[in-house]
Amino acid sequence: MKKILMMIALMVMPFAMQAQTKFHDVELCEAQGAVKKITQDIMGRQQVTTFTQDGKMQREGMSGAVYDDNGYLQSAKVIIRDQETAVTYKWKDGKVVSQSMNMMGNDVDATYTYNDKGAVASQSMNFGGQPMEMKYTDYKYDSKGNWISRKTNMMGQEMELTRTIEYYE
């Protein structure tokens, strides 16, 4: 059950570097610049996130987005295993420092630390009182400075997370 919750959390968590946009959803997805689309392979499943030219995220199963006056996403509803789940975000200096949700009856809180390139270095999670930490290593970056590959270890199993990024010209 823990592994299933972790896999689901990985699909949701990827929802952090300042860009000149009205909305900061690109930063929420650990990217910067004029990002048009991010396609991420998460445990054999593709997740596609698109962005308007002003930086607003569009993802299947996401609704009810609430933004602050500066364009930072504060909360949204996402569909996880056919259930609507509310996710809240806390920002500091243009990066998500934590997010919280209740997933299948378990409170899930995550906090993030960042590397010198602005990508997540580690993610600490608390699944209903059970702490877990995932460190991200072996980053590969595209020509725009956004990560396209990184490795992590989840419950003793090493995984490589990959994504492709399309940009507005």
Question: In whole angstroms, what is the distance from residue 5 CA to residue 72 CA?
Answer: 26
Integer angstrom CA distances of residue 66 from 77, 78, 140: 9, 13, 32
For residue 99, give the nearest of 115, 107, 85, 111 by alpha carbon: 111
111 or 44, greater pLDDT: 111
What's the mean pLDDT in 81-97? 89
Instruction: Inform me whether the pLDDT recorded for 65 exceeds 80.
Output: yes
Instruction: Give the DSSP letter string of 127-151.
Output: ETTEEEEEE-EEEEE-TTS-EEEEE
Instruction: Inform me whether the pLDDT recorded for 122 exceeds 60.
Output: yes
Instruction: Inform me whether the pLDDT recorded for 17 exceeds 60.
Output: no
Question: In whole angstroms, what is the distance from residue 43 CA to residue 135 CA?
Answer: 17
Instruction: Inform me whether the pLDDT recorded for 67 exceeds 70.
Output: yes
Q: What is the pLDDT of residue 10?
A: 55
What's the mean pLDDT in 158-166? 92
For residue 28, give the nearest of 70, 69, 56 by alpha carbon: 56
Instruction: Inform me whether the pLDDT recorded for 50 exceeds 90.
Output: yes
Instruction: Record the pTM.
Output: 0.79
Structure tokens at 86: 């509310």
- Rounded to 5°, the CA angle 45-66-168 comes to 55
49 or 169, greater pLDDT: 49
Question: In whole angstroms, what is the distance from residue 135 CA to residue 105 CA?
Answer: 26
What's the mean pLDDT in 107-135? 88
pLDDT digits 0-9 by tens, 103-116: 777 788 999 999 98
Q: Which residues of 87-104 are buried (b: 16+ CB within 10 A; e: fewer)?
A: bebebeeebbeebbbebe
Integer angstrom CA distances of residue 27 from 3, 44, 115: 27, 24, 14
